[in-house]
Amino acid sequence: MENNFEEYSEINSFNNEESKKISEIEPLQESRNSIVKMREQLKEFIEPPLLSACETLYDKNIRTLSTLANKQDIERQTGHIIVDFDSLSDKNKELGKQFGEIVFDDGINQLVIKIPITENSTFEEIKNYAESLVGKFEKQSMTWVPFYTIEQLRKIYDIELNDDSFGIEGFADQFYYDPSKNLFYMFEEHARKANEKIE
């Protein structure tokens, strides 16, 4: 019974959140361009009304750079989801151009997907609008996660490139090693998603 009550409480809390107006949504702390370790971490960085849309983007291996959808955006009458345009597949670039604007910022091309916001906008309205847009993207290969060879890591840490005494285990506490590719990733989930076969 206790577990059922906890599950009910979580669902009820989420439903209450969805019934809020945007004027009740507080802004998150600055999280622009943060590297996400795993899917569950998205909620720490993504504006709540846009979380489900950005989870969809993550599942499609598309990198979200920034989101805005809170009470501070009412005056601007717009929020946004910004994705890394340069990391999109060719097909997704063409799809993105249909409902987003390409801008150059932070040294890369970014696709800005604007979300209309008014004082009367609700959490659910913004959530549904964002989901309808990102749903148009196709799943693609994850090309944006960092990865390194052991030689690259030795160079980064100022170790002799041929110093075999500093091997794979020397970086195991900071990186995830993928033996199938002989590559190091920042996180295990990155390695798994980078190796997904896209049909």
Considering the domain boundaries, does residue 22 fall inside one? Answer: yes
What is the extent of the structural domain holding 184?
Answer: 147-194
For residue 67, which phi and psi values (nearest 5 degrees)?
-140, 150
Looking at the fold, whether 94 and 184 belong to one and the same domain comes out as no
Would you give per-residue pLDDT tens digits along the chain (199 residues)?
Answer: 445 545 444 444 445 667 789 999 988 865 555 678 889 999 888 999 999 999 999 999 999 999 999 999 999 999 999 999 999 999 999 999 999 999 999 899 999 999 999 999 999 999 999 999 999 999 999 989 999 999 999 999 999 888 877 889 999 899 999 999 999 999 999 999 999 988 7
Residue 1's H or E segment, with its range, is none
Residues 115 and 169 in one domain: no
Residue 34 lies in a domain: yes
CA dist 101 → 56, 84, 114 (Å): 20, 12, 8
The residue among 102, 193, 93, 80 whose CA lies nearest residue 137 is 93
Q: Are residues 121 and 160 in the same domain?
A: no
128 and 92 belong to one structural domain: yes
Task: Please report whether residue 8 resides in a domain.
Answer: no
> Which H/E stretch holds residue 57?
helix 51-59
pTM of the model: 0.84
